[in-house]
Amino acid sequence: MHVAFSFLLLASVSAAAAPAARDPRPPATPYRVEENWAFLRDPALRTDPVDALKFIPLDPEGTDFVTLGGEARHVWRYFHNEAWGAQPDDANGYHLIRLMLNADVRLGAHWRIYGELKSGLVEGKITPIRPADRDDLDLHQAFVERRDTTSSVPWLLRVGRQEFHYGSGRILTFREGPNVRQSFDAALFRVQPGAWKIDTLCARPAETTPGIFDNQTDDQQLIYGFYAVTPLTLLKGANLDLYYLGYDRDNARFLGQSGDERRQSLGARFWGRRNALDYNFEALWQWGDFRTDEIRAWTVASDTGYTFASAPTSPRLGLKANIISGDRDPSDGRLGTFNALYPRGNYFGEIGLLGPANLVNLHPGITGKFNRSWGYGLATAFFWRESNRDGIYNSGGAVVRPPGSSTARYIGTQSDLSINWTYDRHFSVEVFYAHFRPGDFLRETGRHESVDFLSLVTRYRF
């Protein structure tokens, strides 16, 4: 009933015409902060009924204007044998409801004030409610921005609570998958010399607590550094990201030990597209200290695909491959467990059982579109432990199964199926099914039932 109600409610408010082919509106993505609707000063470009909310002039010339935006997302999820049977099942599944509303005030060419509220609600969940499941009502973003795009080196300064999203979301993003997104109390300075875009940031995450307007700055975590992006003009379609991130966390925990963590991360990402081939390669090295141990961790990741545009459904055949370090010996004075800091939620699919630490992963798949509205995805993921002396982790970095006495490396096999329907840039529906079959490591260390997962996501975004 809840799913049907959500579908009908969102569909009823989504009677918007598709934008014109040459309409310069920003792409419909989850990352809303970089949207700029100033082009709607031209009345001829207001082709969508929602455009009345995207450009509200504050003066006759439209130099100053307000943009309103938001999202209503309903997710129904069902697990059978969640955590491989270690948790009781929610017999009828459970519901996650996300509501977000933002206001973007543009004052001339230089000043901007941005604010956003969020609400994450949970209904019918018997299994433990995680912090990222519930936040009744809170301030998600509130920042002031000053920019100068006319100087020889354009620059931007943004101060306040804000989201970040870099690269493929492997190490610093807003946690889109779970019900409650992540924001930071931060200062961001961006310069654009030539073809480069370079962000320098210093931030503390905002806590996610379930009450009303009670999210405080988490003063036990600090992240700082830079992220730089540029196209590679000598190689058509290629781009390069270079970044350094420092991370401090008090009272961190790794395999039962707690203490202060001081971790440095240095990474590079090479990505792009050339004709039918797309590619995304990333490597990252971490060093620092945890308690009295030295940190020596790393990851190498890839996502390569080829699209057969002339074949039925224009399928993209892809292969993801990841190697993510684990700890080799808990008593050797070195911590080898990789920390993904603030990664995207549901890192290896919507089922979200495993996170990016101590893993070797191969993930072949195929995606395509039946027509302009309907699409599909099929994938199979194989998981091994990188170190057989370390456990396995979730996306938040918590241990979900310690190593015990097992020396087995194979964790299990995950199969995924998705069907998606997009009505227009505002309204979409996605169905996900996944099956996880445990391998030797899970069978030797505790509960090891196969996991089935079903999810229905309806989303309206304006």
Mind listing the domains of the chain with CATH numbers?
2-461 (2.40.160.100)
pLDDT value of position 22: 62
pTM of the model: 0.91
CB contact at 8 A, 337 and 327? yes
Q: Taking residues 260-273, what's their average pLDDT?
A: 98
**Better-predicted residue by pLDDT, 181 or 29:** 181
Residue 128 banded pLDDT, cuts 50, 70, 90: confident
Phi/psi at 292 (5° precision): -105, 5
Q: Taking residues 399-417, what's their average pLDDT?
A: 96
**Better-predicted residue by pLDDT, 44 or 90:** 44
As given in the structure block, the two tokens for residue 201 are 């940031």
User: Which residue type is seen at 437?
Assistant: R
Which residues are 67's β-sheet partners?
A: 104
pLDDT digits (tens, 9 = 90+) for 180-214: 999 999 999 999 999 999 999 999 999 999 999 99
CB contact at 8 A, 292 and 333? yes
CB contact at 8 A, 288 and 309? no
Calculate ∠ Cα 328-346-6, nearest 5°: 165
As given in the structure block, the two tokens for residue 301 are 């990741």
Q: What percent of the chain has pLDDT over 90?
A: 87
Query: Mean pLDDT for the chain?
Result: 93
As given in the structure block, the two tokens for residue 178 are 């779970």
**pLDDT greater than 80 at residue 52:** yes
**Lowest mean pLDDT across 127-131, 154-158, 259-263, 276-280:** 127-131
Residue 15 banded pLDDT, cuts 50, 70, 90: very low
Residue 1 banded pLDDT, cuts 50, 70, 90: very low
Calculate ∠ Cα 93-98-104, nearest 5°: 170
For residue 369, how many C-alpha atoms fall within 13 Å in the half-sphere facing its CB? 10
N residues, the chain: 462
**pLDDT greater than 80 at residue 126:** yes
pLDDT digits (tens, 9 = 90+) for 59-89: 999 999 999 999 999 999 999 999 999 888 8
Place of tokens 């290896």: 348
CA nearest to 135, candidates 71, 75, 208, 216: 208
pLDDT value of position 87: 86
User: Which residue type is seen at 427?
Assistant: F
**CA–CA separation, 36 vs 34, rounded Å?**
6
pLDDT value of position 88: 85
pLDDT value of position 345: 85
Q: What is the CA radius of gyration of the chain?
A: 23
Residue 256 banded pLDDT, cuts 50, 70, 90: confident
**CA–CA separation, 182 vs 179, rounded Å?**
10
pLDDT digits (tens, 9 = 90+) for 347-397: 999 999 999 999 999 999 999 999 999 999 999 999 999 999 999 999 889
Q: Taking residues 127-148, what's their average pLDDT?
A: 95
pLDDT value of position 257: 87
Phi/psi at 154 (5° precision): -55, 145
Residue 13 banded pLDDT, cuts 50, 70, 90: very low
pLDDT value of position 23: 67
Give 92: exposed, middle or buried? Use CB within 10 Å, 0-12, 13-18, 19+.
exposed
Q: Taking residues 289-300, what's their average pLDDT?
A: 96
